[in-house]
Amino acid sequence: MSSGRFEIRMLAKRGDARGSLVVAEAGRECPFPVARVYWVFGTQAGVRRGFHAHHRTRQMAVCVSGACTFLMDDGAHREELRMDSPDSALMIEPGVWHEMSDFTPDCVLLVLADAPYAESDYIRDYAEFKKLVSQ
């Protein structure tokens, strides 16, 4: 479940008879200051998303509803991870190619990032990614 460049972390689930609560504070459960938050939802059946890595951005992904599968590739290790619990977080370090697939109809994927959006931070060509990580 981990290559050192990506890992699943369990988040503390709190609650009682009324329901559950999960907290992700910057510097605690989320190991970096959060500069951007986005969520993916309404993904159509059979659609794959992602297809990129980042030069510098760190991310924490939580499937807050439903489920999806991540294909994670750090250049040396490729692994598929099923995200299906709102109390688990996938930590994605820079230099990790990731693709998402197999979204359930109710999937809501929340992502916390340590940097604002910058197109120059994205590596969108897999051949370029492989070349960069082999250096």
Give catalytic residue positions. Answer: 52
Q: Are strands 68-73 and 97-101 parallel, antiparallel or unpaired?
A: antiparallel
CA proximity to 39, closest of 102, 94, 100, 95 = 100
Q: What is the DSSP letter of 57?
A: -
Structure-block tokens of residue 111:
């992502």
CA proximity to 67, closest of 9, 96, 106, 31 = 106
Residue length of the chain: 135
